[in-house]
Amino acid sequence: MIQDEGLASRAAVLEEIAAEVRQCTLCDLHRGRTHAVPGEGPPDARVMFIGEGPGREEDEQGRPFVGPAGRYLNALLQRAGLVREEVFITNIVKCRPPGNREPTPTEVEACRSYLDGQIACLRPHIICLLGRPATATLLDPSATMGKIHGSPISKDGFTYIPMYHPAAALHNQRLAPVLTEDFTRLGLLLRRLLAEE
């Protein structure tokens, strides 16, 4: 019962954040959006995925990772023994940058409190950073994906795993086996953490 109350309260906090995001005008990205994309997933998600920003289909639907990269992400999740419904998926900015450009530091900073709020609420076992902008924002601005992808890194009480963005592997097929291997390792790490609980 107490656990259920804790989950209900976490779900309420996540919904509060989502409601704020949908009304947000803190940066200029709100001007071009059709829908803000707060992110989605259960309040007891053990794994969180953080990408760069919504694309065209995400902007149209108000949901994260629903385009081609999202379908690829769903397939990769199976490699980790996960299904989409049990993970939380969001981005460092919640509104689509024009032409899918990289978000500016000002936009990332303006949006940061929503992401921090989601992380603090979920306290996931593992946070997967999809792509360089998410990795630079949460881990290391000078990080090189080729060097740090796939390896767990502890920081501020959280375990992060930087990974290539699924969209990058759609454009560069050589990254596909790398992503597959990193998701397989993610599954192994998660099972180990759960066994230690």
Interacting residue ranges for ligand SF4, rule: CB under 6 A? 21, 24-27, 29-30, 36, 93-95, 107, 110-111
Least distance from ligand SF4 to the Cβ atom of residue 121, Å: 16
Q: How far is the CB of 141 from ligand SF4 (least distance, A)?
A: 19
Amino acid at 28: D
What is the chain's Cα-based Rg?
Answer: 16
Q: What are phi and psi of 57, to 5 degrees?
A: -70, -35
Nearer to ligand SF4, 45 or 115 (CB): 115
Residue whose CB is less far from ligand SF4, 82 or 95: 95
Nearer to ligand SF4, 44 or 60 (CB): 60
Q: Please, what is the end-to-end C-alpha distance for the chain in angstroms? A: 20
Between helices 68-79 and 176-196, what is the axis angle to 10°? 50
Q: Which is nearer to ligand SF4, 24 or 128 (CB)?
A: 24
Burial 13-45 (b: 16+ CB within 10 A, else e): bbeebbebbbebebbebbeebebbbbbbbebeb
The residue among 41 and 161 lying less far from ligand SF4, judged by its C-beta, is 41
- The least CB distance from residue 103 to ligand SF4, in Å, is 7
CB 43, min distance to ligand SF4, A: 20
Q: Give the other-Cβ count within 10 Å of 134's Cβ.
A: 26
Least distance from ligand SF4 to the Cβ atom of residue 120, Å:
17
